[in-house]
Structure 1
Amino acid sequence: MARLFVAIEIPPALADALLARVPRAAGVRPAAAHQIHLTLHFLGEQDEMAAVRVEQALGAVSCASFPLAVQEAGYFRGRRASVLWAGVASSPALDDLHASVERAVAASGSEPEENTAMRHSPPRFQPHITLARCTPAVPDAVLQSWRVSQTGLACAPWLVERFILYQSHLHPSGAQHLCRRAYALGASGR
């Protein structure tokens, strides 16, 4: 079985700059710089035949390259863990790429790993870059203070020129994301 997701990679210098903003507090575990990405579609566990179908279907995605910029930050609070994230500026091109990836995955016949929350309605695309995971012991005050300290966060845009089908392997020390296949985006016409 292959644990798959489709994502946009984040330039290393930007990933380092964003990770430098993560608070150094007990229970806050920053992501590894080389694994910082923006998820377009999570498929979860897929058998090899389904993985090959997804890989082939994504080859039909046709979108132009586009600029994308980090803007704002926040956190998601969950029962088992919380996530610190950086958001991105509104981007119709990103929305188009996301929709194209969704259509390609659906055309492949592969289903995402089922999640109880997803049984009733599909999740709305909330583009974000996960920067850290926090244990439940991290107080709300630490999370809220971090969010307030990130008010006005804005970074120079970068050019998104490809997206990647990643295969993830879970280990006790954390997940390892490997590029299964990269897909180039077309010239932006500029």
Structure 2
Amino acid sequence: MPRLFTALEIPRDAALSLSLLRGGLPGARWIDVENYHLTLRFFGDVEGHVADEIANALDRIRRPSFSLTLSGVGAFGSKKPHSLYAAVTASPDLMALQGEIERICQRLGLPADPRKFVPHVTIARLRNTHPMEAAAYLSARGNFATMPFKVGRFVLMSSRDSVGGGPYVIEETWPLPTPDVRVAGGAFDMALASRMMR
């Protein structure tokens, strides 16, 4: 049975920047470049009818596209580091999208995710890596950042249980359309006019 999760894909230029972080840390199993992604919500192993319910509910999401920037690196597991990741610059649009998916999960009665959502892209799994070596790696790459990239869709991915993650398969996609600038400008003009009339 496949494991399901919603995610954002990492475009080629950003993935190339991430790939330059590979190497220089004993005990690291580096994620293949084609498997980079940003998990929005992990569902785990679900039955077929539950997967259909999830997909049908996600069909109702209507959110605009937005930009993201990867900036900085970190490790999960401070005393015994188990994975390395690239961090994401704060994004209200990303948090709003993830929050809506989380609310859908609650309405469907899916178990709550015990972990707080921390946007990140996993770049390596660690085994028997000494915390000092991980700290040295992170400090040497602390100024890592990508150029901003546009997020134009989110996806439902599946994975088989494997060591190190992947291969991942995109099961369904949902577009995040570009906002209509005229509508946004009109709303802004109306808000500005109402403030000036006070």
Structure 1 and Structure 2 fold alike (TM over 0.5): yes
In structure 2, how many angstroms separate the alpha carbons of the residues matched to 1:173 and 1:48? 25
Aligned residues of 1:60 and 1:104 also touching (Cα < 8 A): no
1:138 counterpart (129, 140, 156): 129
In structure 1, how many angstroms separate the alpha carbons of the residues matched to 2:8 and 2:164? 23
Q: CA deviation at 1:160?
A: 0.3
**Per-residue CA distance 1:97-154 (angstroms, 9 max, x = gap):** 1111112222333336xxxxx6xxx42211010000010x211122101110122222
| Paired amino acid for 2:35 | Q
In structure 1, how many angstroms separate the alpha carbons of the residues matched to 2:170 and 2:44? 15
| Paired amino acid for 2:109 | G
For structure 2, list consecutive stretches of 5 or more residues without a partner in the other structure.
182-198
For structure 1, list consecutive stretches of 5 or more residues without a partner in the other structure.
113-117
Q: CA deviation at 1:15?
A: 1.3
Q: CA deviation at 1:43?
A: 0.7
1:147 counterpart (138, 142, 152): 138
Aligned residues of 1:31 and 1:132 also touching (Cα < 8 A): yes
TM-score (norm 2): 0.84
1:124 aligns with 116
Aligned residues of 2:67 and 2:151 also touching (Cα < 8 A): yes
Larger strand proportion of the pair: 1
**Per-residue CA distance 1:36-94 (angstroms, 9 max, x = gap):** 00010001010001011001111111110000001111111278861110011110000
Aligned residues of 2:71 and 2:145 also touching (Cα < 8 A): yes
- Between Structure 1 and Structure 2, whose CA radius of gyration is higher? 2
Q: Say if 1:84 and 1:25 are closer, same or farther in 2 by CA, change over 3 A.
A: same
In structure 2, how many angstroms separate the alpha carbons of the residues matched to 1:19 and 1:163? 22
Q: RMSD of the alignment, in Å?
A: 2.0
| Paired amino acid for 1:92 | P
Aligned residues of 1:2 and 1:48 also touching (Cα < 8 A): no
2:155 aligns with 164
| Paired amino acid for 2:41 | H
In structure 2, how many angstroms separate the alpha carbons of the residues matched to 1:142 and 1:79? 12
2:171 corresponds to 1:177: no
Aligned residues of 2:8 and 2:155 also touching (Cα < 8 A): yes
In structure 2, how many angstroms separate the alpha carbons of the residues matched to 1:106 and 1:20? 38
Aligned residues of 1:3 and 1:43 also touching (Cα < 8 A): yes
| Paired amino acid for 2:107 | A
In structure 2, how many angstroms separate the alpha carbons of the residues matched to 1:39 and 1:174? 12
- Percent of aligned pairs with the same amino acid: 29
In structure 1, how many angstroms separate the alpha carbons of the residues matched to 2:32 and 2:180? 34
Aligned residues of 1:77 and 1:83 also touching (Cα < 8 A): yes
Q: Which moved more, 1:32-41 or 1:101-110?
A: 101-110
Query: How many equivalent residue pairs?
Result: 181
In structure 2, how many angstroms separate the alpha carbons of the residues matched to 1:142 and 1:23? 12
1:33 aligns with 33
Q: CA deviation at 1:174?
A: 4.8
In structure 2, how many angstroms separate the alpha carbons of the residues matched to 1:132 and 1:106? 31
Larger helix proportion of the pair: 2
2:6 corresponds to 1:6: yes
